[in-house]
Amino acid sequence: QVQLVESGGGLVQPGGSLKLSCVTSGFTLDYYAMGWFRQAPGKEREGVSCINNSGVMTYYADTVKGRFTISRDNAKNTVYLQMNTLKPEDTAVYYCARPSYCSEDGPLGPADYWGQGTQVTVSS
């Protein structure tokens, strides 16, 4: 069955960096766009970034543009989210997901599969 397993979350100081990974299984990653969502306590879920199946097209929410970079390695069945210059407002649970579409202008399409989430906490 389809599985998405995130890792790489943790506690980091403001201005620091983290790299999230999402290992996928149960489907052919080459055929699908992938994305990252996040949800902070008391806030709605936000589509952060997505990447098309070949990796040549990406989308970023305005809140993370210029700081986060999404990438993928289809041979390793893995999607990444490099997060730099982290801010306290980036604190959230981050979810890897398989959106129905990913366009340059966003937002991410609704997702049919989700990972379990990984906690990112930005605090001094």
Nearest to 121 by CA among 29, 23, 4, 40: 40
Answer whether 111's CB lies under 8 Å from 99's CB: yes
> Minimal CA–CA distance to 24: which of 121, 120, 116?
116
Q: What are phi and psi of 90, to 5 degrees?
A: -85, -5
Kindly report, residue by residue over 44-69, the tens digit of the pLDDT.
Answer: 999 999 999 999 999 999 999 999 99
Place of tokens 């397993």: 5
Predicted confidence at residue 57, as pLDDT, reads 95
Q: What mean pLDDT comes out for the span 60-79?
A: 97
Q: What integer pLDDT is reported at residue 106 of this predicted model?
A: 83
Average pLDDT of the segment spanning 2-11:
97
Beta strands of 74-117 (E only): which ranges?
78-83, 92-99, 111-114
CB-count exposure of residue 111 (10 Å: 0-12, 13-18, 19+): buried
Q: How confident is the model at residue 105 (pLDDT cuts 50, 70, 90)?
A: confident
